[in-house]
Amino acid sequence: MKNLNLLFILLAYNFFSPKMIAQNQPVEKGYEFTVIKALPATPVKDQYRTGTCWSFATISFLESELLRMGKGEFDLSEMFVVRHCYPFKADKYVRMHGNTNFDAGGQALDVLWVLDNYGIVPEEVYDGLLTGEKKHIHGGMDAVLSGYLEKVNTNNDEKLNLAWKDGLNGILDAFLGEYPEEFIYKGKVYTPETFAGELGLNTGDYVCIGSFTHHPFYKNFILEVPDNWMWHKIFNVPLHEMMQVLDYALEKDFTVIWDADVSERGFDRKTDIVLVPSENYEDLQGMDKLRWEGLNDREMQNLLYDFSSPKKEKVITQAMRQKGFDDLKTTDDHLMHITGLAEDQDGNPFYLVKNSWGTEGRVYEGYFYVSKAYMEYKTIFFMVHKDAVPGTIRTRLGI
């Protein structure tokens, strides 16, 4: 009898064990995305250990523009742009006695400025890898440039010797190589200017659009972020219209440059999924109240930002967006290239975003899936072709 009782207890334990109970609970599935639209784009590149996302994103965008225009596929040089920006960035830094930003950062409109003033070249003509590296590593160059300009700004001479500019160009040539005055591409001789002319890109066709309340809507203003060293202006519209521009552009087969804050925990580099998860614990799907009430704050935060299962997100308002910019929680971190639309298994919209962090170790071959809420919350601006702006908004902006 005792043996029968023991057998019953063992069977009961196995049947009602935590493992068995867990197996009987509904299994939460991870995110499953369906691509609704994927616009033509060139292969993902790797900016590696540089702060030149702005050049990579904008060059990628221009390459997609050439595809859209029927010009064919091109691989354009990011470092040609970087090489031409540094001397003018340094000149402004010295003229302002060191009271402006000088680092590797920049903006999308910097690339258009180089295209207008110096042209462009193919990657095979100028790759900026003179030092023998297989990938771009700019830590040493950036340190040398910063140290050099600090000495230029603090010199004790009666007047500034303008030879400092030759020294700066020498540093850039040593690290990146001398840029070509003339080159042969597919059997034809070009200068950077004539090559740019043959591409047929009109830089005046592109506009930057953001949404902020510290400036009037339907006006342009100088964007107050450190990397805007050229003091470019962007147009300002209400939040819902900013998102209308994005959706209309993709609907009409235009890709979009995205300047955004990527410092948020919701920009998840492990899953390559980007969200603004709700902090209302009752929004956690598939979890009973007793389970999450027993967690400490750290465990709860880890659960909120665990993207192995779908999450409900915050509802973003204009005021939330502005507060993030005002208290510096939303910063000008990174530029990327929006190339398409997708949705998750629940029908929630996501944007397909091409990054410049290479493909090795990336979940979606160098692309990220970004939620609508994150776009609303953490966008600094979009850059688009003017024809990608809805007519009513174009009229209000006068473009």
Encode the chain in three state secondary structure: CHHHHHHHHHHHHHHHCHHHHHHHCCCCCCCCCEEEEECCCCCCCECCECCCHHHHHHHHHHHHHHHHCCCCCCCECHHHHHHHHHHHHHHHHHHCCCCCCCCCCCCHHHHHHHHHHHCCCECCCCCCCCCCCCCCECHHHHHHHHHHHHHHHCCCCCCCCCCHHHHHHHHHHHHHCCCCCCEEECCEEECHHHHHHHHCCCHHHEEEEECCCCCCCCCEEECCCCCCCCCCEEEECCHHHHHHHHHHHHHCCCCEEEEECCCCCCEECCCCEECCECCCHHHCCCCCHHHHHCCCHHHHHHHHCCCCCCCCECCCCHHHHHHHHHCCCCCCCEEEEEEEEEECCCCCEEEEEECCECCCCCCECCEEEEEHHHHHHHEEEEEEEHHHCCHHHHHHHCC
Per-residue pLDDT, 4? 42
pLDDT at 156: 82
- Spans of all domains in the chain: 34-276+313-397
User: What burial class does residue 200 get, using C-beta atoms within 10 Å of its C-beta: 0-12 exposed, 13-18 middle, 19+ buried?
Assistant: exposed
Spatial contact of 203 and 385, defined as CB atoms under 8 Å apart: no
Looking at residue 282, what is its pLDDT? 64
pLDDT (0 to 100) of residue 294: 66
341-355: string of b/e by CB count within 10 Å (b at 16+)? bbebeeebebbbbbb
pLDDT at 288: 46
pLDDT of residue 306: 86
Under-70 pLDDT residues of the chain:
1-29, 281-294
| pTM for the whole structure | 0.90
The pLDDT, as a whole number, for residue 18 is 34
Q: What is the CATH number of domain 34-276+313-397?
A: 3.90.70.10
- Identify residue 262 by its one-letter amino acid code: V
The amino acid present at 173, given as its one-letter code, is D
